[in-house]
Amino acid sequence: MLKEIIIENVYDFDTAHIFDCGQCFRWNNDIGVVGSYVCKATYDEEKHLLKLETNGGTKEFWQNYFDLDTDYSAIKKMLAASDPDIIPALEYGQGIRILNQDIFETIISFIVSQNNNIPRIKKCIEAICARYGEQLGEYFGEMRYSFPSAGVLAEADVCDLAELKLGYRCEYIVSAARQYLKFGAPADYDELLSYPGIGPKVANCIMLFGLHSVEAFPIDTWVKHIMNDMYGFEKNDVKGMTGFARDRFGNYAGYAQQYLFYFYREKKD
DNA sequence: TCGCAGGTGGTCG
DNA sequence: CGACCACCTGCG
């Protein structure tokens, strides 16, 4: 049974920008699964209304999920002031928002993302949910599944996971779920690095998307291209890029990364 | 066939 | 340290 939630006075919002800027994998055609909730999001840019058709969650829950209490206009102003070169990217992805996502789901999702491409990442994650998640019911024409808990994945058989075409990431997933179960949610970058299958790039993604540490600046192949194109860094000078991001964007580096990533990735097609 | 895709871990020097 | 390199899988 779906209910409708309307949130008023929503600015700096565009579902395409939010769902395609690389932070999440379970939204398609503005329909997504968040926890045990299925949701279809529609934004009216004339009236600045966000309409959600969902099977659950309070208005406050969704308000937080979509990060609606953060002033993105102010963030864009600050980024533009610190670096005029980023302005085209700010305009192109004007509706980007960094979601407040579940930490465990983010950990597993970005372990799956390594050395992988987005369509296949999405396919892999849906396969994990269909196999190990809970049935939430049929919504918008198909059965929806929750993302499995750490307890369930910790007990998963590596060979079963292999059938989902996760490749060498199977072992990482089970080990990571066990570590999470044993020690609880990771709190910082170093703790994330101690997880199997998590290196600097994935750790920064989890910091930014799972822990909402908006100063994190994940450097993937796209950002490497950008930093080479726009700022003249050598392809593999990750250290230089990290320092540059920190110096230029400071505590807003994560936002900058999202605008730049979306701009370059979309522009390429 | 081969390189690449939102990289990481292991092994050398 | 830093530079290589193998690695599941699917696509162009």
Which string of DSSP letters, residue by residue, matches A219-240? --HHHHHHHHHHH---TT-HHH
CA of A206 to C1' of C9 (A): 23
Which three-class secondary structure string do you get for A67-103?
CCCCCHHHHHHHHHHHCHHHHHHHHHCCCCCCCCCCH
Q: Which two tokens stand for residue A211?
A: 């822990």
The spacing between the Cα labelled CA in A255 and the C1' in B13, in angstroms, equals: 39
Name the residue closest to C3, CA to C1': A236
CB A231 within 8 A of CB A244: yes
Say yes or no: Cβ of A218 under 7 A from any atom of strand B: yes
Whole-prediction pTM: 0.97
The answer to whether the C-beta of A260 is closer than 7 A to strand B is: no
CA distance A5 to A3: 7
Which pLDDT tens digits describe chain A residue by residue (269 residues)?
899 999 999 999 999 999 999 999 999 999 999 999 999 999 999 999 999 999 999 999 999 999 999 999 999 999 999 999 999 999 999 999 999 999 999 999 999 999 999 999 999 999 999 999 999 999 999 999 999 999 999 999 999 999 999 999 999 999 999 999 999 999 999 999 999 999 999 999 999 999 999 999 999 999 999 999 999 999 889 999 999 999 999 999 999 999 999 999 887 64
- CA distances (Å), A102 to each of A16, A114, A198, in order? 21, 19, 17
CA–C1' distance A236–C4 (Å)? 13
A103-122 residues near strand B (Cβ < 7 Å): 113-118, 120
Pairing label, strands A27-28, A37-44: unpaired
Nearest to A145 by CA among A126, A162, A163, A160: A126
Which nucleotides of chain C are near protein (any atom < 7 Å from a CB)? Answer: 2-3, 7-11
Q: Which nucleotide is nearest to A258 (CA to C1')?
A: B6
Q: Is the dihedral of CA A102, A7, A254, A247 positive or negative?
A: negative
Instruction: Return the residue matching tokens 């503005």.
Output: A30
